[in-house]
Amino acid sequence: MTKNQSVLKWIEEMKALVTPKDVVWIDGSEEQLEALRKEACTTGEMIKLNQEKLPGCYLHRTAVNDVARVEDRTFICSRKEEDAGPTNHWMEPQKCYKMLYDIARGSYKGRTMYVIPYSMGPIGSPFSKIGVELTDSIYVVLNMSIMTRTGDKVWESLGDSSDWVRGLHAKCDIDAEKRYICHFPEDNTIISVNSGYGGNVLLGKKCFALRIASFLGKNEGWMAEHMLILGVQNPKGEIKYISAAFPSACGKTNLAMLIPPEVYRKKGYKVWTVGDDIAWMRIGPDGRLWAVNPENGFFGVAPGTNAKSNPNALECTHKGTIFTNVAENLDDKTVWWEGLDKNPPENGVDWKGNPWNGKTSTEKGAHPNSRFTAPAKNCPCVSPEFDKGTGVPISAIIFGGRRAQTTPLVYQSRDWNNGVFVGSIMASETTAAATGAVGVVRRDPMAMLPFCGYHMGDYFQHWIDMGEKLGDKAPKIFNVNWFRLNQDGHFIWPGFGDNLRVLEWILARCEGKADAVETPIGFVPKAEDINLDGLDMSRETLQSILNVNKEQWAKEAEGISEFYKKFGDKMPKTLKEELNGLQGRLK
């Protein structure tokens, strides 16, 4: 419990609105969480898995109409519409509050209200922020207890401050027509109704850690970014840290948990995972950019995760994990998903709860967006810095996308502002996984398009302003593309652990120890400066994915110009000048 008056007043208002039968305050104790797990298994909300093979692991199924984030139902409710910008859905705040309160009114009748105090980032860290989520879902309580730091220590850290984020989640009837995830940046408030799916209801995740936090960061002079954080340890024992932003389906978690190739492991290289999804970055007392992962767990996509693609991620799921919308093997009470192995259960239950034989069924056993919620401490390569709360100093920032042609394997921006330009033009080509046409270029600046809590033009300006404050201590900015295809449509670069070969060049550039070739788009490695030891690839093949094709880039520049028009007069002049500069160099 807390004596914080701003918290108590708000909870009383919400209780009067949703009228719960009981109120339970989450204290963070294992005893309380275990009692909730038992209760969830009794009601069927969760299924207890084989405790010998998967200790502390449970399975949950969401409603069939509630399986992913709903961007068309996600709103930024700033007081002025222009502050939300052209890439967000906007609703007038008072109108939105009324609509949401009308939907949520009385929806906790006969249900329990759980009060979850949580810290994004280690409790008490200068990087951290506090939230309170009210929910009528035990699934949410148990997931939040993995993904964030929860419990009574959060109240101690908050004291009597009113600087905390309010979050109301109401399952209501899981009615897709009345499903809304709404953010009120000026009020530090998030409201989610009619969903039970993690991405819409774990309000600490994208809602707080990116949409609300990006707005707080702009106002308070720091950055909330959709970025992994990893540390590369060289044979001398020195560790340098990198943050990287990629749109979905571009191997973000794989890079965050990278296992070095054997030739590197033998020399003593190690990779440490600080975070796989979100980075909060501040300028430290030394003038450098420091980053923490505000989360305490991984909310990963299950399909495709296996012992080859990401052994560290798979290892994370072997204890204390909640699986959502995967298949269940009834013979031994374990779980299965497409891409896990070639041995699907014959006596199984699919993600919808129907009997399923993986050997004969044409239906998928797991939903393509099925998830695992796993504690970060399970990760074999979790960084020793993970819980310290002091952050890690960032040497390099990497942007990337999925491009079959055009973008080389890696290039370095000309300077910070040019790097902001590189981030602002980030793009991926649509794959068969996305609905619609394949091969269409989709721009996703800094991988933040669905997650920026304010006008993206102002967001670009904030990046430029941060660069000015950092001066010559700013991290170097790079772009990578692991996805170049040959004429047969096969990937040329092997990817996965071999991406360390590219990171090695990037870090050498940061230390002024590697050469580069200047091109119209930036600095590209010399083929001989990327280590190919132990790799079945010729220098000629490598050179082919380092080349910059001026014609392709001239076409790209036209697409960028068109994209920039979206942001109107809020598009920073600096970035328009960067585009003009690129077009000039291409001529």
pTM above 0.85, yes or no: yes
250 is catalytic: yes
Measured in residues, the chain has a length of 587
Query: Domains of the chain, with CATH numbers?
Result: 5-43+70-220 (3.40.449.10), 225-296+384-586 (3.90.228.20), 298-378 (2.170.8.10)
Give 17-71 pLDDT, tens digit per residue: 999 999 999 999 999 999 999 999 999 999 999 999 999 999 999 999 999 999 9
Q: Are 206 and 195 in contact (CB under 8 A)?
A: no
Distance between CA 105 and CA 129 in Å, rounded?
29
Q: Are 309 and 254 in contact (CB under 8 A)?
A: yes
Q: Which residue reads 């300006």 in tokens?
A: 461
Backbone angles phi, psi at 441, to 5 degrees: -80, 120
Task: Provide the β-strand partners of residue 243.
Answer: 229, 397
Secondary element (H or E) of residue 463: helix 456-470
Give 437-469 pLDDT, tens digit per residue: 667 899 999 999 999 999 999 999 999 999 999
pLDDT beyond 80 at 433: no
What tokens appear for 238 in the block? 């020195």
Secondary element (H or E) of residue 100: helix 93-104
Structure-derived torsion over alpha carbons of residues 435, 437, 443, 447, reported in degrees to the nearest 10? 30
Give 163-215 pLDDT, tens digit per residue: 999 999 999 999 999 999 999 999 999 999 999 999 999 999 999 999 999 99
Q: Is the dihedral of CA 292, 298, 302, 308 positive or negative?
A: positive
Catalytic residue selected from 57, 172, 250, 316: 250
Distance between CA 224 and CA 213 in Å, rounded?
6
Q: Rounded mean pLDDT of the chain?
A: 97
Q: Is 43 helix (H, G, I), strand (E, B) or coil?
A: helix
Quote the pLDDT of residue 440.
86
Quote the pLDDT of residue 249.
79
Work out the end-to-end distance of the chain between its first and last CA atoms, rounded to an integer number of angstroms.
66
Split at pLDDT 50, 70, 90, the class of 431 is low
Backbone angles phi, psi at 239, to 5 degrees: -115, 130
Give 562-578 pLDDT, tens digit per residue: 999 999 999 999 999 99
Q: Are 435 and 429 in contact (CB under 8 A)?
A: no
Q: Are 146 and 59 in contact (CB under 8 A)?
A: no
Helix H, strand E, coil C: the string for 254-281 is HHHCCCCCHHHHHHCCEEEEEECCCEEE
Quote the pLDDT of residue 434.
45
Buried b (16+ CB within 10 A) or exposed e, 307-319: eebbebbbbbbee
What average pLDDT score do residues 310-336 get? Answer: 98
